[in-house]
């Protein structure tokens, strides 16, 4: 049940909010759990018992870890817990990929293939797995105490604003709010943030999906340089407005329930380096990879050479986390290689004109998104080749009205202008003006109305990160 669906906006959300606000304060967590379980069961009913079962195991393991003194037995419990969650993730997310690759190798060698029934990927499995691991690791490190009640931990795992596609929560960041939080004071702010996110997803991202999809589905006789560039830029903007819009909706929904979630995006396309980009893009994932993978690998404590290797490993695994495909691995390695290069250059990068740094960074990000969106490495090569003029000289672009209708071009222009303006404001911050507060609130209402009208007349595109 996507947030950007009429079912959610017209039925689930109003019904849940009425029930939640009518519930006494002492029982609001139970209402939130009930609503979250209904929400999750709507999209992945078969996986819900697994989530609940793993939650119960985590609760028991965390208390066993906290009760033991530092030593081998305590570390063994942590390893068992992490291995359990990773095995679940590998089975559901990567088993099809591994079997397909093995069958391809067996076929090339002349052997018979292995029979296999495809495993259906449950929504949100990657995000839930990461949160379960952070819970056990933080308890082991002493950074957080285990949950006093299993209901608190289950709400942490299943809370519907974030359970499907993040942001990735840490138990220590939400633990106190599960016990006590303000109710009612953030309702208007939450509504405004949700309306903004819904508009970004429905009005911009879903519209940009039209030229992006058609460009990436174009045949060789249609893939002109212009088509390739429009498609690459459209997808670059689509994935940002799509995922940041979802994060805005999640944060807004959390505020309606009294929760304060950390930001997940901070205008990533204003970055002047890929290192800065990753401090602004999917912040919860970047921080997770830093704290639970990069630092345990040694971080930069073991010298520059080891730090470079660790960076490359982390980014490559980040690519694999996004999906079981070589394009994702290549995307992660691509970013890892350039972030490592920036680390090697160090202060010498300051000699490069700032405007050129922005241009190069945006260009690299666009190239990376082509790898991310392509269906195969060969497809990515074809798209990138067309972008630099290596394409069929007789290629003829699709009819403009079919490829990029006017409203899609308007969305594309808006995305480009928003990116350029954000870079400008990075160096010339705009001062706030309270006189516009009332008009701004009317604007949020208008955005919500426009989004709902759009949903009524157009099909919503599934959230890109649902499949991760």
Catalytic residue numbers, as ranges: 322
The gap from C-alpha 152 to its chain's centroid, in whole angstroms, comes to 24
By the 8 A CB rule, do 323 and 468 touch?
yes
DSSP characters over 323-338: -SSHHHHHHHHHHHHH
Q: At 365, list the tokens.
A: 């990000």
Q: Tokens for 129?
A: 């797995």
- Cα–Cα nearest to 370, from 311, 328, 312: 328
What is the C-alpha to C-alpha distance for residues 60 and 102, in angstroms, rounded to an integer?
A: 37
How far is Cα 340 from Cα 364, in angstroms, rounded to an integer?
14
> What letter does residue 164 receive in the DSSP assignment?
T
- The C-alpha atoms of residue 42 and residue 1 are separated, in whole angstroms, by 7
Dist. CA 93–CA 304, nearest whole Å: 34
Nearest-angstrom CA–CA distance, 16 and 28: 11
Peptide bond into 230 cis (omega under 30): no
From CA 274, how far away is CA 335, in angstroms rounded?
A: 7
Please report, in angstroms and rounded to a whole number, the separation of the first and last CA atoms in the chain: 16
> How many whole angstroms separate alpha carbon 281 and alpha carbon 271?
10
d(CA 41, CA 124) in angstroms, rounded, equals 12
Spatial CB neighbours of 180, under 8 Å, sequence gap ≥ 6: none
Tokens of 185: 């004071």
| CB-CB contact of 62 with 137 (8 Å) | no
Rounded distance, CA 124 to CA 68, Å? 32
Q: CA 348 to CA 329: how far, in whole Å?
A: 29
Is the C-alpha dihedral spanning 83, 85, 91, 94 positive or negative? negative
E-strand stretches of 81-161? none
């Amino acid at each position: 049940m996507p947030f950007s669906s009429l079912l959610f906006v017209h039925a689930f959300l109003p019904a849940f909010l009425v029930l939640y606000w009518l519930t006494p304060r002492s029982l609001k967590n139970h209402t939130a759990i009930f609503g979250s379980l209904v929400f999750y069961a709507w999209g992945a009913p078969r996986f819900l018992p697994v989530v609940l079962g793993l939650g119960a195991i985590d609760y028991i393991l965390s208390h066993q870890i906290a009760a033991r003194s530092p030593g081998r037995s305590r570390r063994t419990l942590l390893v068992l817990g992490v291995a359990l969650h990773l095995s679940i993730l590998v089975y559901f997310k990567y088993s099809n990929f591994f079997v397909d690759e093995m069958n391809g190798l067996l076929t090339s060698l002349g052997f018979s293939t292995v029979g296999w029934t495809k495993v259906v990927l449950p929504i949100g499995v990657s995000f839930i797995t990461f949160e379960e691991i952070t819970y056990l690791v933080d308890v082991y490190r002493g950074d957080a105490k285990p949950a006093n009640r299993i209901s608190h931990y289950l709400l942490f795992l299943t809370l519907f604003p974030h359970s499907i596609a993040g942001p990735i929560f840490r138990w220590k960041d939400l633990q106190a709010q599960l016990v006590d939080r303000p109710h009612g004071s953030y309702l208007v702010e939450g509504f405004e943030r949700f309306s903004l996110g819904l508009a970004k997803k429905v009005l911009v991202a879903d519209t940009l999906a039209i030229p992006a999809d058609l460009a990436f589905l174009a045949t060789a006789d249609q893939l002109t340089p212009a088509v390739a560039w429009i498609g690459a830029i459209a997808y670059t903007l689509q994935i940002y407005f799509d995922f940041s819009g979802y994060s805005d909706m999640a944060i807004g929904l959390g505020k309606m329930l009294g929760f304060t979630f950390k930001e997940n995006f901070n205008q990533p396309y204003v970055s002047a380096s890929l290192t800065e980009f990753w401090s602004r893009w999917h912040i919860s994932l970047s921080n997770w990879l830093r704290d639970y993978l990069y630092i345990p690998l040694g971080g930069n404590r073991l010298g520059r050479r080891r730090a470079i290797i660790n960076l490359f490993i982390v980014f490559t695994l980040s690519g694999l986390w996004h999906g079981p495909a070589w394009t994702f691995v290549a995307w992660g390695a691509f970013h890892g290689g350039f972030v490592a290069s920036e680390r090697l250059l160090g202060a010498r990068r300051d000699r490069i004109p700032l405007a050129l740094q922005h241009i190069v960074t945006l260009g690299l990000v666009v190239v990376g998104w082509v790898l991310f969106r392509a269906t195969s490495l060969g497809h990515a090569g074809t798209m990138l080749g067309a972008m630099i003029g290596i394409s069929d000289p007789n290629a003829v672009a699709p009819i403009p009205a079919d490829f990029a209708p006017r409203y899609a071009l308007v969305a594309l222009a808006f995305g480009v202008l928003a990116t350029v303006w954000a870079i400008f404001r990075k160096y010339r911050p705009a001062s706030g003006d309270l006189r516009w507060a009332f008009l701004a609130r009317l604007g949020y209402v208008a955005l919500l109305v426009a989004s709902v009208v759009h949903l009524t007349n157009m099909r919503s595109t599934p959230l890109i990160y649902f499949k991760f």
